[in-house]
Structure formats: structure tokens, C-alpha cells
Chains A and B, each alone.
Chain A
Amino acid sequence: MNTTLGILLLLSVPGLPLLLLLPTLRARLSRPCHLALLPAVILLTLPLDYSIELPWLLFGTGLGIDGESRLLIAMSVVLWIAATFLQAPAGEVDGCRQTSFFLLTMAGNLGAILATGMVGFFTFSTLMGYGFYGLLVNGGDAAARRTGRVYLGFLILADLALFEALLIAATTSRDLGFGVVRHAIEQSATPGFYLSLVLAGLALKAAIWPLHFWLPLAFRSARPAVVLLLGGVPVAIGLLRMVRWLPLGALALPGVGEGIQWVGLAAAIYGTVAGLRQSHPRALLAYAGIVVTGLFVATLGSGLEWPVIGATIKETGHLFILYLGFMLAALVSASVIADKVTARRALHSLLLVAHVAGALLLMLAPVIIFFLIRVPAGSDLLFADSGVVALWPWWTLCTTLLALRWLYLLPHHQQEAVSVPTPVIAVIWGVLLAATAAIGLLAALWCDDPMGVVVDVWRPVVLGLLIGSSVWWMAAKGALPVIPAIPPGDLWLIIARWLSRVDHWMMSVGHQVLPRWRAAGLAVAGHLLQVCKWQKALDAGERLLQRWSIAVTLLLLLGAAIVLLGT
């Protein structure tokens, strides 16, 4: 491809959405969000792998497309088109802002996929994160605003952790390509601290248990168009970051790998228990996502423990990310369409078949991962030996139970009104289901012995079906004991309640203790009034410092101390 054309095309993929942020530019366009995807679509049609280096951009970064990123761009294009159709702004101003946030998130999403270096990836994913915050909060109710606060807090902490990790990596190597992480771990004086920063930051961004709280809140409170994007945008980019940044296949980190595997297992158990106690299908999907990403994380852990598995995950992990993104989007759109066709009895059978198909895709999500992890021939590593991940068939028990619960909840919940024609939603839903199934088939073709993998899961699946059916039957008979529902956000709600109590305690300390200290200390000066709060105490100190004689004297005393200490 011609160099100039290549540069223009790659730059315009994230660049056009950013350009269309200007309201005056998009005022006369009927579907600016769709137009913004045009460069990405053109890029997909070109069969070439291409990359550009931009030494003048930020600290020198690059954009490129290869087979892996081409698939991820394709997923993003499909999800963004679908979400844009589902977008239903309340009014003109709200719609303009919503479009701006759509475009900003889109630019960050596409740019992160194309980035060939860590700083570029970090930059675009940060843009995506802030844009996504706007999508969560814009035009929403109090629940949406609470979700936005939690998400923003997690986003800022994640960015800080990853920024520190990037700095540590940059001290070991001036090259900030994706391979620098391995180099940083090998060269860093504190590899454990560095890896902790990376894992914490990634977990916060991708809602990996136990740093998952914002995801169920978002699934429950955000608009359908935004919920559709959750699996394919923030979570997918977070998982992609994990695959690209962790030294899979390059280093053996047995301790860390084993720890991550246990975290993944705990995520699966926690997500299953919390998911089964949800009363809304979208909230259940959030916990289903936590279970499935927990399995993926456990697989990454095994990849860190055994580089031979890690190398395979590095090569195929993006396929699972595609599967997850499409699957969650398909299930979300299923929940949207369920209510719209309820009144049309002729479509009930078709609807049921489609719902069961969606549930099947959720149920078999663990199978997809193990289609993709193909241990090279001749390797003496058997799955039976590969730690926690050896329990993988029993993950399908978790996903089976969740799939059945989801089928049970679909007809019973109150649906949010979506002003989009039913055929449009049906097409979206069909495309997403088909894409998910296609990725699953692709994964099956990748595997040497797909039937062997399927055979391994029949026991957990049957057990799950038996348990689920029994519970369903008992619920229908009214024989099921009442177990309290777990609200979306689960532990976060408890943490938030305790945080407010700590805050109240601190205020009361400021109320009672601080005035006594201050009165004792400053009564000598004889001019300070009793104050009641931390803020007023700081104000009082500030007023004292605004007397220049005190300020200058204080500094000179400090200086004299430095001089004396220096001698």
C-alpha cells in the first residue's frame, strides 16, 4: 500500500471520530457515528497487514493492522453499528452530547486496537475510558450517576497504576513496544511490585474479580446501547491489554501464575453465586461475564506458570475476546427484543429458539477457551497437571446454571422502552448471535480434538441442567426457600456504606478533638476562634500563613535548620 495512503487510512480510523467531535462538522450529517466507522470498514476490506511509525506523535508511537487486530476491529465495527442503532437520546442536547461521547469512546476503542506500542495503547484506552464514563452518566438517573462515580474512581486508579508501571518499564528500556514488559520484569529491581501494578491496573479496567464492582452496576443502570458495548469495549480492551502486556510464553512466573489461577477460580465461584441471586437478566449477564473472564484470567495464570500454554494464549487469546464481546452483546440485545415481541404470539416459538441459542453460547463459553489452548505436539504438559485450570470442565457447571437462570428471568422482568423498530433489533440480534457462533466454530476448527473437549464437559453440563431444572420446578411449585437477592454492585455497596461511616467519624473527630488542640496551641496567640471542621481548621492555618512575617520567618527558620544540619 502506498505509504501516504496507509498513513492517512490508519490515522483516520481513530482520527475521523475525533474530528467529528466538533458539532459544527457533524451538524449536517445524518448518521455521524456510522460515517466515523468508514475508515475502519475500508481498512477491513484491505487484505494487507500494514503498520506505520509516527515518531512525532506523543513520545513516538505507531499504528498497525494485522490478522488479530483486523478481527478485533471487525467486532468493534459491528458492535458500534449495533449500539448506534439502539441509541435513543431523550432530547436534542442530550443527543448531541451522547453522540460526542459515542465518538470519543469509539476513537479510543479503535485506536487502542491499532496501537503498536504501550504508550499509544495507554493513551487511546484512557480516552476510551473517559468517553465511556460520559456514556454511562449522560442523561441517566441517580443509579447511572452512582455507576459513573464508581467507574470513574476505578478508571483513575487503574490509569495511575498503569502509568506507574509504564514508568518502571521505561526505565529499563527506552523502547516501549509490547515486549518491554518482559524486559522490565527481568531488569527491574522490584519485579513483584511492577507486576502487581500491571495486574491491578488491568483488573480495574477489565472488571476482573475482585475489582469488578462497576460492571454489574453498569449492566443494570446504563442504557441498552451502552450495555451492548460493555463486553466489547472496556472489558475486551482490558483483556486485550492483559494478553499484550503480560509476558506470556516468554517468562515462567510460577508463583504469580498460580495465584492468578486461584483468583480466576474464586471469580467463577463468586460470579456464579452472585449471578444466581440476581433478579434482572442484564445484571445476571454482568456476573456471567465475571465468571467467563475469571476463567480467561485463570487461563492467563496457567500461561504465566507454563510458557508453552502462554505462547498459545498469546496467539489465540483474541479469539476468545471476540467471542466474549459478541456473546454479551447478543444476550443484551436478546433482553431488549424480548419485551417488544411478547405481544406477537406467532413469534414466540422463534423467540424461544433464539433465546435457547443464546443460552447455549453462554453455557459453552468455557469450551471455547479450551478449543483455543492447544498444547504443541510432543509437549509433556497435560491438562490434568496444569493447576487450577485442570478443573476447567466444571466451569461449564457455573455457566450452565447462569444460562438457565437467564432463560428464567427473561420473560419476567420490566423492560426499558427502546424506540427502535423491532426488525432492526432482530437483525442486530441475529448478526450478533451468528458472529458469536462463527467465532465458536472457528475456535473449534482451531482445536485438534474438539470432540474430546466437548466430551469432557458433558457431566458438568448435565449436572447443571439437572440442578437448574430442579430449582426451576421447585420455584414454579412455590417450594423454593426465599434467599435474599444480591443487588448489582454487591460488595461495593457494603464498602460504600462503611466509607461513609469512616467519613462521618473523621468529621466528628474534627468536631471534637481538633478544636481542643488548636485552642491549646493557638490560645497563646490569643486570636483564633473555635472552628468545627477540618476545612475551617485548614482555613485558619492558611490565614496565619498569609501574614507575611510569619511565613517568611517560618521559611528562614527552616532554612537555618537546613544550614545547621548541613554542617
Chain B
Amino acid sequence: MNWDSGLLLLILATSLVPGLVIFFLPEERVAIRTTLNMGGAVVKLVLVGVLIWGVLHGHQYETRLPLLPGGLDLVLHADAESVLFVTLSAVLWLVTTIYAIGYLEGSQHRSRFFGFFSLCVTATVGVALAGNMITFLVFYELLTLSTYPLIVHRGTEEARQAGRVYLRYTIAGGALLLVGTVWLYDVAGSFEFTHRGVVAGLDDADRTVLTAIFVLLIAGLGVKAALVPLHGWLPRAMVAPAPVSALLHAVAVVKAGAFGIVRVVDDVYGVEFAASLGVTGPLAVLAATTIVYGSLRALFQDNLKRRLAYSTVSQVSYIVLGVAVVGPIATVGGLVHLVHQGLMKITLFFCAGNLAETLGVHNISDMNGIGRRMPWTMAAFTIAALGMIGVPPLAGFVSKWYLGLGALDAGQDWVVFILAGSSLLNAGYFLPVLYATWFKAPPDAWPAERSYGRRETAWALLAPPLVTALLVVAAGLLASAPFSPLQWARFITTQEYAP
């Protein structure tokens, strides 16, 4: 095995090995556990940097491991698309690790938590680097199994109930995905992710069968991507600790689902073939419905995390919409939103976690004047919220610009109205929060205030949202700079739509 084939395994190992070791660490071994967590995250980031450099310079990174007889291999492959998702995962895992260390300080079962935390990230990276559907499916299911313990971490009845709902949804989704994958192999004779799609070359395949396979794959992936009506698990999963919510919503689970849909459309069916099959139109309508429905539901939530959960339901479908509106510009918008939404949403969840941990505030109705007590946290929240609405020059504006432009370019003018309506709804459920935060008088006492001396909260809780908020600003303001998410998305799309 040489460096090019071993690098991908190393990237997986940087979270897998620490995770497995952490499982066996006693609770009181805080320093070792922290070192393993942080060390693994930093090393992963470095290796991903090497990967980016290599992909840019034309290196081929691929690892093949035999899985089943008959040539069914576990394939890890790095292309521009997978590097985008891996980079997002690596960066956000690092900040989430720092956050989680601060958030769970003094809590019970931290070894268990961080063990599954690391496995979750391993699975996510595996999803990103999957080179074929079977590898994707394996890591997709590993993701389900590794995130369940995180959801039920608190051990309350509500958490266990949420975990059961989550398992039912995701196992059902996994089953649909498995059926679709097997059927795909039967029809196409291959699982591989290929340029222009492995299915596109099947001239004599039954189009009804191909459509049915597409529906099964999307249904299976749509569970984790929280497409309506398969989104029901997501708001309930908010009982999990804030780092888990941040991970679920910004990095791991929903992104894995959305990324999978991108892979199916781009690399299994091919964009043009999928459009000729007539499946991209209904997918676009489903995504649009989810966008509007999620925003409408968010309007009525008083619990902050539930409001953010429904916002995630809506926002992740922008990625699906971008891919379903067939066209290079819209695809750029969808791909770049994969990164931008991750940055913005993780910031929001970090801030929600800070409010809960520091002041015992969980509901929006309790947030009056909270900006005076926690100005830095709420400044980060404000930046992320305005980004979600699409206020320039923040990251969300860039995503919506490309989605709208792509829709007009592809002749799908109705999508622009969906974006406009969604932006209005986003403003409707974020601006009142900001108003209450900054302009209303605070209460005499907060529900459960913890003192951190002169600081508003612990450094480990404050630094991550500030960093990610800065990234939200940078991703928008420097959108046209080299190595920005936008430039990377353009690079991917150029390759995808190349003749």
C-alpha cells in the first residue's frame, strides 16, 4: 500500500482509533481523553490539507478493500466533491470537539460520548470518501448506529423516545437504500460513482425500473436529509446535548443525506440522464415543498432548538434543490450551500447551547435582552441568523444568489419565488429573535445562571461560535477568493459538466 492509497485510510483512522481508545478510558482520565480528541481532530485536519493539495495537483487517491466475493469492494476515493465534504467535516469536527469538551465538563459518561462522537465523524468521513454505493451504504448505516447513542446520551425518557423515533426512521431509510442499491447493481452491474453516472450508459434499461430505483435511493437518503415527509425524527432529536445537535444538523447526519442525494444525481444517474428520465422535476418540487414547510413550522416554535431544527429541515433542501434544478450554476449554489449552511447552522446551535448552559434559557420567549448578558454569543448568533436570511455579504447570500441565478439560467423561474418566499419566512422566524435579544429589557433573573467571572461564558463554549461566525462572514465576503467554498464548488461543477 502506498501513500496515495493509504492517505484515505489514515484520515479515517485519525478519528476511529482515538474513538476506540476513548471507549476504554476511565471517566477521570480527562487529560488523555482531551488529548486524544484534540490530537485526532488536528491530525485529521492536517491530512485533509494534504489531500486537498494532492487533488488540486492531480493526484489520484483511491483505496480498495475486498468486501464481498464477486468483485464487491469497499472503495474509498477522493474527488473534488468528496474533498469538499471531508474538509467541512474535518474543520467543524475540530470546533465541535472543543465545544463538546467545554459543554460536557463535569458531566457523566464522557468517555462513552466521545467514543461514539469519534465514530460518528469516522462514519461521516467514510460517507464523504465513499467511491461506490455499497461503501456509501456501509458508512451511512454506521452513521446511524454511532449517532443513536449520542441522541439518547442524557438517558431521560424523552431522549430514549427520540432515539427510538430516530432509529425507526433511519433504519427504514437504510432498508430502502439497501433495496435500491441492490436493485441498481442488478440493473447496472456496477456500484461505482462515475463521471456522468453509471446508469447513463444503459441504453436498453427499462426507464420505469430506473425511476423506481431512483425513488428508493432518494427515499432512503431523504430520511437523513430530512425531506418532508421524512423529517419527523429531526425536531425530536433536539433533546440531545448541543454538541450533538450541532453535529447532526451541520456536519454529519443531514449533510450525509444531502450529500448522498448529490452523489446519486451526479455520479450514479448523471445530471443529464436524470433530467431526461424526468425525476429531477419531482425532486425539485419535493425540495421546494420541504423548504417552505420547514420554514412555516419554524415560525411557530418557541423552543429555540426546535426552531433551528425546522430551519435545518428547510435549509438542507436548498442543497437538494440546487442539484435538482439541472444546470451548472444551480449546482454550484447547492454545493456551496452544503458548506455555508453547515457553518451558519453550527454557529446557531453553539449559541443555543451557550444560552442553555450559561443561563438555562431554552425558549425564545425567555430571550428578552439576552444580548446584554451574552453579547459575544448573540453577536455570533446575529451573524449566522442574518446569513440564513440571505443578507449580503454573508455566506447565505452567496448560496441564494447562485441558486436563484441557476434557476433563471435553467428556465426554472418558479424556484426564484420559492427562494424569495423562503427568505421572507426566514426573516419572519429569525428577526423577532434578534429584536428580543437586543432591544427588549432583560428579566430580573435568568432561569439558571452560572457565573464565569468576568467572562460571559466558558472560553471553550465562546470561542467555537465566534470562529464559525467569522467563517460565515469570510465565506461570503471572500467568496471569489482562491480556495473559498464557492471556488471549490465551481471547480466541482466545471468537472461535472465538462464534455
Q: How far is the CB of A88 from chain B (nearest CB, A)?
A: 18
Bound form: Cα–Cα A542–B230 in Å:
11
B368 interface residue per 8 A CB criterion? no
Stretch of A238-246, A248-256, A545-553 lying at the B interface:
A545-553
Give residues 334-383 of A contacting B (CB, 8 Å): none
Query: B-side binding surface: helix, strand, loop or mixed?
Result: helix
Known contacts A58-B480, A167-B405, A547-B232; is-contact A559 B215 (Cβ 8 Å): yes
Residues of A within 8 A of B219 (CB): 552, 555-556, 559
What residues of chain B have their CB less than 8 Å away from a CB belonging to chain A? 165, 168-169, 172-173, 176, 207-208, 211-212, 215-216, 218-219, 222-223, 227-233, 236, 277-279, 282, 286, 296-297, 300, 372, 375, 386, 390-393, 397-398, 400-401, 404-405, 408-409, 416, 420, 423-424, 427, 431, 435, 438-439, 476-482
Complex contact A126–B479 (CB within 8 A): no
Of the candidates A127, A542, A550, A558, the one whose C-beta lies within 8 Å of that of B297 is: A542
Complex contact B427–A171 (CB within 8 A): no
Complex contact A566–B208 (CB within 8 A): yes
Complex contact B404–A566 (CB within 8 A): no
Bound form: Cα–Cα A156–B430 in Å:
13
Interface string of A120-146 (1 = CB under 8 A from B): 001100110010001001100000010
Complex contact B416–A167 (CB within 8 A): yes
Bound form: Cα–Cα A552–B179 in Å:
14
Q: How far is the CB of A191 from chain B (nearest CB, A)?
A: 15
Complex contact B439–A138 (CB within 8 A): yes
Residues of A within 8 A of B165 (CB): 546, 548
Query: A-side binding surface: helix, strand, loop or mixed?
Result: helix
Q: How far is the CB of A271 from chain B (nearest CB, A)?
A: 30
Bound form: Cα–Cα A551–B438 in Å:
40
Known contacts A57-B478, A57-B480, A562-B215; is-contact A130 B296 (Cβ 8 Å): no
Residues of A within 8 A of B169 (CB): 548, 551-552
Q: How far is the CB of B72 from chain A (nearest CB, A)?
A: 26
Bound form: Cα–Cα A560–B208 in Å:
10
| Nearest B-chain residue to A536, judged by Cβ | B300
Complex contact A59–B230 (CB within 8 A): no
Bound form: Cα–Cα A559–B386 in Å:
36
**6 smallest A-B Cβ distances: which pairs?**
A559-B215, A546-B232, A123-B392, A56-B481, A548-B168, A551-B229
| Nearest A-chain residue to B407, judged by Cβ | A167
| Nearest B-chain residue to A172, judged by Cβ | B408
Residues of A within 8 A of B390 (CB): 163
Bound form: Cα–Cα A101–B397 in Å:
22
| Nearest B-chain residue to A130, judged by Cβ | B391
Residues of B within 8 A of A560 (CB): 215
| Nearest A-chain residue to B222, judged by Cβ | A555
Known contacts A548-B168, A552-B230; is-contact A164 B392 (Cβ 8 Å): no
Complex contact B215–A554 (CB within 8 A): no
User: Which of B236, B408, B439 has the most chain A CB atoms closer than 10 A to its own CB?
Assistant: B439
Residues of A within 8 A of B482 (CB): 56
Complex contact B401–A126 (CB within 8 A): no
Known contacts A122-B392, A556-B219; is-contact A164 B232 (Cβ 8 Å): no
Q: How far is the CB of B159 from chain A (nearest CB, A)?
A: 16
A519 interface residue per 8 A CB criterion? no
Other than the known A164-B420, A555-B219, A559-B219, what 20 A-B pairs have Cβ atoms closer than 8 Å? A56-B480, A56-B481, A123-B393, A123-B397, A126-B391, A126-B392, A160-B420, A163-B400, A164-B416, A167-B416, A170-B405, A171-B405, A545-B229, A546-B233, A548-B168, A551-B169, A552-B173, A559-B215, A562-B211, A563-B212
Bound form: Cα–Cα A60–B478 in Å:
9
Complex contact A58–B391 (CB within 8 A): no
Bound form: Cα–Cα A552–B233 in Å:
12
Complex contact A152–B393 (CB within 8 A): no
Of the candidates B218, B231, B401, the one whose C-beta lies within 8 Å of that of A59 is: B401
Bound form: Cα–Cα A538–B222 in Å:
21
Residues of B within 8 A of A137 (CB): 435, 439
Complex contact A57–B477 (CB within 8 A): yes
Of the candidates A163, A168, A548, the one whose C-beta lies within 8 Å of that of B233 is: A548
Residues of B within 8 A of A182 (CB): none
A-B contact pairs, 17 of them (CB 8 A): A60-B480, A119-B392, A164-B404, A167-B401, A167-B408, A538-B300, A546-B236, A552-B172, A552-B219, A555-B222, A556-B215, A558-B286, A559-B212, A563-B212, A563-B215, A566-B208, A567-B208
Complex contact A552–B480 (CB within 8 A): no
Q: How far is the CB of B233 from chain A (nearest CB, A)?
A: 7
Residues of A within 8 A of B286 (CB): 558
A93 interface residue per 8 A CB criterion? yes
Complex contact B172–A160 (CB within 8 A): no
Residues of B within 8 A of A539 (CB): 300
Of the candidates A55, A535, A555, A563, the one whose C-beta lies within 8 Å of that of B229 is: A555
Residues of A within 8 A of B481 (CB): 56
A97 interface residue per 8 A CB criterion? yes
Complex contact B424–A156 (CB within 8 A): yes
Complex contact B479–A59 (CB within 8 A): yes
Residues of B within 8 A of A57 (CB): 477-478, 480
Complex contact B423–A160 (CB within 8 A): yes
Known contacts A535-B300, A548-B232, A559-B219; is-contact A58 B476 (Cβ 8 Å): yes
Bound form: Cα–Cα A549–B416 in Å:
33
Bound form: Cα–Cα A296–B391 in Å:
30
Residues of A within 8 A of B392 (CB): 58, 119, 122-123, 126-127
Bound form: Cα–Cα A130–B391 in Å:
10
Complex contact B480–A59 (CB within 8 A): yes
Bound form: Cα–Cα A138–B371 in Å:
13
